[in-house]
Amino acid sequence: MANLNFNRPEILFPCFAQLISLQGIGPRTANIMAKKIGKFAIDLAFYFPVSLIDRSASPDINAIMDGQIVTLSITIISVDIQMGRQSRPARIVGENETGKIELIYFRSKADYLKSLYKVGKTVLVSGRIDFFNHKKQITHPDYVVPSDQHTSIPSIEPIYPLSAGLRQNLLRKTSQSIIKKMPELPEWIDKNLKQQQKWPDFKSALLKCHSPKTEADLELNTVHRRRLAFDELLANQLALCLIRSQQSNTSASEPVRGNEQFIKNFVSSLPYSMTSAQKRVVREITEDQSTPIRMLRLLQGDVGSGKTLVALIALLQAITSGKQAALLAPTEILSKQHFQNVTELLKNFDIKPVLLIGSMTRKQKQNVHEGLKSGKISFVIGTHALLTEDTEFLDLGLAVVDEQHRFGVKQRLILGQKGGGCDVLIMTATPIPRTLAMTAYGDLKISQLDEKPAGRMDIRTASLQMEKMNEVIERLSKAIANGTRAYWICPLVEESNKLDAEAAVDRHKVLTQLLPETNPVLAHGKMKPNERDIAMQAFQSGESQLLVATTVVEVGVDIPEAGIIIIENAERFGLAQLHQLRGRVGRSNIQSSCLLLYQTPLSHTAKSRLDIMRQTNNGFLIAEEDLRLRGPGEVLGQRQSGAPEFKLANLSAHADLIGIARKQSLKLLNEDPLLTSEKGKACHILIGLFEQDAAIRYLYSG
């Protein structure tokens, strides 16, 4: 496997031509396309129309309906075009044997219009009909051509999603040009599968997507869309299988077998009993660690299911076998919290973790680096600082990555390569539907914690209109007076951390005035880390009873005394994120509650989300509903799931293809691990075509 060359195949070079190099695309347009579509030719080839215009209708003028799109042959009978600065629109009247129609232009060049329209000339015009003052008009016709050039007006025209600065004609012309110039790529799909599914070849499928004849051709379940969705899923699965295969081939030279008596003593020292699910998953992980093949496993559990304890036992297995162990968390807050909790659990044992985070002094970091390199430090907890080149391990046995969705595949591979290669355990608090788990984590074995610790009660969830805010604040005041602590989460504003922060700041000011006795503290992403830490610590210690925050508390924050969470403008959040936020409470044996404040009127989807949140605390059920409710491109959301965003595959519509792609990938790589056969070489091209090769190149070069 190590001899596999994963540089981009030369045949794909035309597909990755910069869009700015294509005719008609200048720097400004290229910049707009880079944000909306991508920067390569293949990105535009994968950018499909979402609707179409049918210009085939050529009815009698007297029978035309308002808003109808028509193509008409008319003879010009009058031309009213004002020269110079136009204070009134140009009006051209044409007729045929079925009636008259006006063509209207605002601020158009008079010379151009005079050359286009002459009395007595017959032209073909196409556009949308408007009724105005009992007259039928076309404002700025889409097409005007001589009467003998009928074929120059397309009868069916695809419509692409636009943003300011992009034109339909440019997208149509350029995408067609790209596909026609695309090299003939070898077939990578199994012949029998292709015949069974009645799929066209890759290039034909692309052309069909860009040249729809009917609305039905735009549907996700057409053979050409399913073919291309399968291509993308197959590329994804092949890449994940290659990653898994390479990591297995670089497995640790010796199995990790911890000190059984130490582990038993540690479990006995816990102030609570482990659930049967925790015990089962510990057995699965311990079995993996004890084999000579490197572990690559996903630990998936709902909020409050006890993932950290399971991970700690795995870390202790590595440490007591004589190896080092590392726990990687996405934020300093979460790293410190893990460090405090783990230190407390190990206070009666001779294993002491150390902390490695960005805000430490250079001297402190240097001491940790030296200890890890020499082997004097056996257990480290930290942030992405663990991924830097400065961090070297003598003999790393296990790396645990918490909240996987905050790290890319390449980052987790870097950690897995530390110390010459180690076992990797990835934790996620987001329950993921099986279809998503197979795509996001197809290279991993999956363990699932589907049971809450004994004594934990379901969180009571209710929803209320924002108009009743005064009532909410009054009830909150009474609850806090009775000893509970509360979160107040401010609304998510898409793609704007600044607005998130402002919303939190404003709400904090209001609540400080209305509830001064609760000593409200503020936490949001724009604050300096040490200021945010001080606020969080005040809430954790009980100095403050009310934490006003943005989604900075979405994951990992563990304050058992907090029993209330209020989520403002809950209709703006996705289901998975609402569930993650709700999971900040209900972390002890006290009855907790969640209040979803919403702005009216509610959309159907938003109402469905709030209904589901009220009806169930089951994260896996919520994840399935989230997959059903959300459209392509926003399934679970990159922030919450880490699921790859696909350009062509829709994980809801094409779920059945994921398992087929997985099966095909495993079969191919089992028969041809070096991808040297004709089919293997074709699959190598496929992986490069969908840009699934970056992490693989890192692995094979490393």
Residue-level pLDDT at 416: 61
In tens, the pLDDT along 190-235 reads: 999 999 999 999 999 999 999 999 999 999 999 999 999 999 999 9
The CA-atom distances, in angstroms, between 699 and each of 167, 244, 275, 298, 501 are 41, 10, 37, 19, 39
pLDDT of res. 634:
36
Three-state DSSP state, 132: strand
pLDDT confidence band for 638 (50 / 70 / 90): very low
Which residues partner with 521 through β-bridges? 547
Q: Residue 360 and residue 379: Cα distance in Å, rounded? A: 17
| pLDDT digit string, tens, across residues 139-157 | 999 999 998 888 888 889 9
147-156, 171-180, 527-536: the lowest-pLDDT one:
527-536
Task: Supply φ then ψ for residue 188, to 5 degrees.
Answer: -105, -10
In CATH terms, are 260-449 and 460-616 the same topology?
yes
Lowest mean pLDDT among 318-332, 474-488, 521-535, 661-675: 521-535
Distance CA 440, CA 412 (A): 13
Asked whether the beta carbons of 594 and 459 are under 8 A apart, the reply is yes
Q: So what's the pLDDT on residue 635?
A: 32
Q: Among 2-11, 31-40, 142-151, 458-467, which stretch is predicted with the lowest mean pLDDT?
A: 2-11
**Average pLDDT value for residue range 391-417:** 72
| Contact assessment for residue 2 and residue 700, using Cβ atoms and an 8 Å cutoff | yes
Sheet holding 460-465, edge to edge: 460-465, 593-598, 562-567, 485-489, 546-549, 521-523
Is pLDDT of 163 > 70?
yes
Cα–Cα distance measured from residue 165 to residue 376, given in angstroms and rounded to the nearest whole number: 60
Length of the chain in terms of residues written: 702
Contacts (Cβ under 8 Å, ≥6 apart) of 565: 486, 487, 488, 489, 581, 582, 584, 585, 592, 593, 594, 595
Tell me what pLDDT residue 269 has: 94
Q: What is the mean pLDDT of residues 161-170?
A: 83
Which amino acid, one-letter code, is at 404? Q
> Is a pLDDT exceeding 80 seen at residue 424?
yes
More confident residue, 219 or 526: 219
Average per-residue pLDDT for the chain: 85
**Whole-angstrom Cα distance, residue 262 to residue 317?**
9
Number of C-beta neighbours around residue 93 at 10 A: 18
- Give dist(CA 279, CA 263) in Å, integer: 12
The answer, yes or no, to whether residue 698 has pLDDT greater than 80, is no
Angle at the Cα of 487 from the Cα atoms of 481 and 491, rounded to 5 degrees: 135
Q: How many helices, marked H, and strands, marked E, lie in the chain?
A: 24, 21
Q: Which residues, 6+ apart, have CB-to-CB distance to 636 below 8 Å? A: 430, 432, 436, 574, 576, 623, 626, 627, 630, 643
Q: Mean pLDDT over residues 513-537, rounded? A: 86
Query: Which residue in 635, 652, 586 sits closest to 430, CA to CA?
Result: 635
Q: Is domain 260-449 in CATH 3.40.50.300, yes or no?
A: yes
- Given its phi and psi angles, is residue 9 left (phi above 0), alpha (psi -120 to 50 degrees) or beta? beta
Phi first, then psi: give them for residue 401, nearest 5 degrees: -110, 115
Q: Which amino acid is located at 315 in the chain?
A: L
Q: How confident is the model over 406-423, as pLDDT tens digits? A: 555 556 566 666 656 688
Task: Spell out the SS3 assignment of 469-505.
Answer: HHHHHHHHHHHHHCCCEEEEECCCCCCCHHHHHHHHH
pLDDT tens column, 71-87 = 999 999 999 988 766 56
Query: What is the helix (H) or strand (E) element at residue 355, kind and residue range?
Result: strand 354-356
Q: Would you tell me how many other CB atoms lie within 10 Å of the CB of residue 556?
A: 22
The predicted model gives 492-505 an average pLDDT of 56
The alpha-carbon radius of gyration of the chain (Å, integer) is 31
Q: Select, from the ranges 90-99, 389-398, 406-415, 581-590, the one with the highest average predicted confidence (pLDDT).
A: 90-99
Q: What's the pLDDT score for residue 423? A: 85
In the CATH scheme, what architecture does the domain 460-616 have? 3-Layer(aba) Sandwich (3.40)
Over residues 273-310, the pLDDT tens digits come to 899 999 999 999 999 999 888 888 888 887 778 889 99
Tokens 């058992």 belong to: 560
Phi and psi torsions of 431, nearest 5°? -60, 130
Q: What is the mean pLDDT of residues 182-196?
A: 94
Predicted confidence at residue 494, as pLDDT, reads 42
Q: Residue 556: its pLDDT value, please?
A: 52
What are residue 537's phi and psi, to 5 degrees?
-70, -35
Q: Are 661 and 236 in contact (CB under 8 A)?
A: yes
Residue 186, pLDDT above cutoff 90? yes
Residue 330 pLDDT > 60: yes
Amino acid 1: pLDDT: 44
In tens, the pLDDT along 435-454 reads 667 666 666 788 888 787 77
Tell me which fold the domain 56-153 belongs to: OB fold (Dihydrolipoamide Acetyltransferase, E2P) (2.40.50)
**Out of 370-379, 489-498, 560-569, least confident range:** 489-498
pLDDT of the residue at 412: 59
385 or 485, greater pLDDT: 485
The residue assigned the tokens 């600044």 is 498
pLDDT interval class at 7 (50, 70, 90): confident
**Closest Cα partner for 448 from 299, 642, 311, 296?**
299
DSSP-based helix, strand, coil % in the chain, nearest 5: 45, 15, 35
Output the pLDDT for position 493: 45
* pLDDT attached to residue 415: 63
**pLDDT at position 420, please?**
62
Q: What is the per-residue pLDDT across 592-632, written as a single tens digit (0 to 9) for each?
A: 999 999 988 888 888 988 999 999 888 878 877 777 765 43
**HEC profile for 624-659?**
HHHHHHCCCCCCCCHHHHCCCCCCCCCCCCCHHHHH
Indicate the pLDDT class of residue 58, thresholds 50, 70 and 90: very high
| Domain regions of the chain by residue span | 10-52+161-219, 56-153, 260-449, 460-616
The pLDDT score that the predictor gives to residue 274 is 92
Tokens of 281: 């998953």
What average pLDDT score do residues 243-268 get? 80
- Cα 46 from Cα 669, distance rounded (Å): 27
DSSP 542: T
